[in-house]
Amino acid sequence: MLRWSIASVCMGGALEGKFAAAAKAGFRAVELFENDLTFFNGRPRDARQLAADLGLEIVALQPLRDFEAMPDPMRRRNFARAARKLELMHDLGARLLCLCSNVSPEAIDDAAQAAADLAELADLARQHGMRIGYEALAWGRHVKDWTAAWDIVRGADRDNLGIVLDSFHICVRGNPIEPIASLPAEWIALVQVADAPALAMDPLSLSRHYRCYPGQGDYPIVDYLDAVTRSGYRGPLSLEIFNDQFRGASAAAIAVDGMRSLRAAGEALTAKRAARGEGPIADLAPLPPAPVVEGAEFVEFAASDADASELIALIEGLGFHHAGRHLSKGVDLYVQGGINLVVNREREGFAHSFSLLHGPSVCALALRVDSIDKALERASALECQSYVGKIGPGEATVPAVAGVEGSLIYFIGRDDRRWRDDFLAGPDKTDGGALRKVDHLSNVVRRGEFLGWCLFYRTVLGLSPQPQVEIVDPHGAFFSRSLRSPNGELRIALNIGEGGATGVSRFLEAFGGAGFQQIALSTDDIFAAVEAAKAKGVAFLPIPDNYYDDLATRFEIAPDLLARMRGLGVLYDRVKDGEFFHIYTETFRDRFFFELVERHNYDLFGAANTPVRLAAQASATEAEKRAEIEFE
């Protein structure tokens, strides 16, 4: 039957940890990469037992390299080598030996010889009760395409020999996918699944450094799975990702990402079949539907008493009013328009631990969803870690799942205001503030975490990733990719810190990991909002005069409007008939900042101005450093 599998090569660390991570993420099948066995401190039968104890089937041993179409004496030696591997497979309990196309410069360009060698190998394997799978590597010496490998397999004509299909090699070569649907299923030995970004690069480098899980790249993986399943193939669908970033991350996280990516691919496959009027494939358990995320209900900050008073001054300076104190906790609620900000000063519990690790920070984001049950079912099916915090008697429970760096994502039902009942109402006040709602948030993440968090937001919350952009920083550059809910009410930008002195890397250092760096709030009148905030002492990022001189050359802007922007430090962008005004507060304790935005028929993030913001933030940091040096 169809079943999800993962190759041990996807994960880093020792074999024991890889098997445990795979089993915990819900896999029941693994491909064993032979190096993992070589480095395993035990006998092959111990590895077999380890897998069996975890409920894992070893579906294949791989790879046998540089085997077919070799001149003697290499050819002879290869058969001796293959015989040893077949012996080993008895101990491992694996029945399939995967052979990848020869990359040796000594390989002979002779498909008939290759077929004869595979036939002989299959006959040898039959004596052991084993099967052979043959896979075309995109960088094979003579066999690079699955169609060429198929010709050789068909030429060898053995019933214990089949083709191994791998979406990476097929897509990187631009091979046709549709004919896979016509292959006889019994001739497909194994199906491997891997994606990659569409980068112009040699296939080997792309494979080593950028190969990724389905849906994390640009290849038509769902079309591939569709073709494979239409052939009638019902065996393992196995992730095989060679990627140094993956192996550098925790095996547990990578295994969970793998399962999430496969289940999301399975969901897309079911949708594709449904569009043709076909039912789902019975072997693949359906994924509960993604919740409808309607927007951000509240943003929660964790801070010590000392930091909290300064943070509250900033929040109140931005026009928020104190709307209540929590019934049983040192937690306060600040409200303006449709924005709720929670400041948590508790000295125990989740927020406190979070602030001990990260300093003042956004520790949680509460999302308004159409159904909490739906959100939790989906999250649980996708192996999210759930969380229920300590609550006082009679208080609302707000279920959550772990997000970036252990921050929380709470789920709040549509129209459910019960969480607000936990706050003793503050003075009744209709605010006259100009801020309306949370416009977007940004996360800074390490490069090795980026694909995983992108996958999390996409699969768990149903957000759609937008194209990746590169942003220039005075100290380098970084990549950014935003994701948005279908209604556009939740937008999260993921920025990748890669070391060096860029703004995002400084954040990672100050914060001690990944986290929320930016909270953007929308307004209908940015000038009124900024003037009111300045009058209350809020410091905004100073913008150089040159920016406004340049702006005047790029756009036709009424002189008094330009003067007003210059006077306040408001940034500007225009696309067709859309206009965007925005401004940033100074960074709070090197960690996060607020952005105020006013949109007119404009759906982007003002990326054209991001380098100006980054330069201004970098010069603020440098000025601080100079001040410290003078002080010392």
Q: Which residue lies nearer to Mg ion by CB, 145 or 240? A: 240
> How many other C-beta atoms lie within 10 A of the C-beta of residue 5?
28
Shortest Å, Cβ 164 to Mg ion: 7
Q: How open is the CA angle 339-341-343, to the nearest 5 degrees?
A: 175
- CA separation, residue 309 to residues 50, 315, 317, 325, 329 (Å): 54, 10, 12, 14, 16
Shortest Å, Cβ 191 to Mg ion: 10
DSSP 129-149: T-EEEEE--TT-SS--SHHHH
Q: Which residue lies nearer to Mg ion by CB, 97 or 412? A: 97
DSSP 345-368: --SSSHHHHHHHHHSSEEEEEEEE
Shortest Å, Cβ 12 to Mg ion: 18
Q: Which residue lies nearer to Mg ion by CB, 166 or 489? A: 166
Q: Which residue lies nearer to Mg ion by CB, 192 or 587? A: 192
| Separation CA 153–CA 255 (nearest Å) | 32
Q: Tell me whether strands 491-497 and 476-484 are parallel, antiparallel or unpaired.
A: antiparallel
In contact, 481 and 532? CB cutoff 8 Å: no
In contact, 501 and 475? CB cutoff 8 Å: yes
Shortest Å, Cβ 510 to Mg ion: 41
Shortest Å, Cβ 68 to Mg ion: 16
Shortest Å, Cβ 166 to Mg ion: 4
Shortest Å, Cβ 192 to Mg ion: 4
Shortest Å, Cβ 240 to Mg ion: 5
Shortest Å, Cβ 59 to Mg ion: 13
- On the CB side of 357, how many CA atoms lie within 13 Å of its CA? 17
Work out the angle between the directed axes of helices 545-554 and 559-568 (0-180°, nearest 10): 150
Residues 6+ apart with CB under 8 A from 598: 522, 523, 524, 525, 526, 580, 581, 582
Shortest Å, Cβ 470 to Mg ion: 30
In contact, 414 and 367? CB cutoff 8 Å: no
For CA atoms 456, 229, 178, 153, give the dihedral sign. positive
Q: Which residue lies nearer to Mg ion by CB, 261 or 617? A: 261
Amino acid at 551: L
Residue number closest to Mg ion, CB atom:
166
Shortest Å, Cβ 24 to Mg ion: 24
3-state SS assignment for residue 87:
helix
| Separation CA 53–CA 16 (nearest Å) | 11
Q: Which residue lies nearer to Mg ion by CB, 242 or 602? A: 242
| Separation CA 249–CA 245 (nearest Å) | 7
Cα radius of gyration rounded to whole Å, the chain? 28
Shortest Å, Cβ 33 to Mg ion: 10
> How many other C-beta atoms lie within 10 A of the C-beta of residue 416?
15
**Ramachandran angles phi, psi of 602, nearest 5°:** -135, 125
Q: Which residue lies nearer to Mg ion by CB, 192 or 485? A: 192
Q: Which residue lies nearer to Mg ion by CB, 5 or 192? A: 192
Binding site residues, Mg ion, CB under 5 A: 166, 192, 240
Q: Which residue lies nearer to Mg ion by CB, 6 or 490? A: 6
Show the tokens assigned to 339. Answer: 């924005």
Q: Which residue lies nearer to Mg ion by CB, 192 or 523? A: 192
In contact, 516 and 362? CB cutoff 8 Å: yes
Q: Which residue lies nearer to Mg ion by CB, 241 or 401? A: 241
> How many other C-beta atoms lie within 10 A of the C-beta of residue 503?
25
Q: Which residue lies nearer to Mg ion by CB, 166 or 297? A: 166
In contact, 9 and 240? CB cutoff 8 Å: yes
| Separation CA 212–CA 25 (nearest Å) | 17
Q: Which residue lies nearer to Mg ion by CB, 192 or 270? A: 192
Shortest Å, Cβ 154 to Mg ion: 20
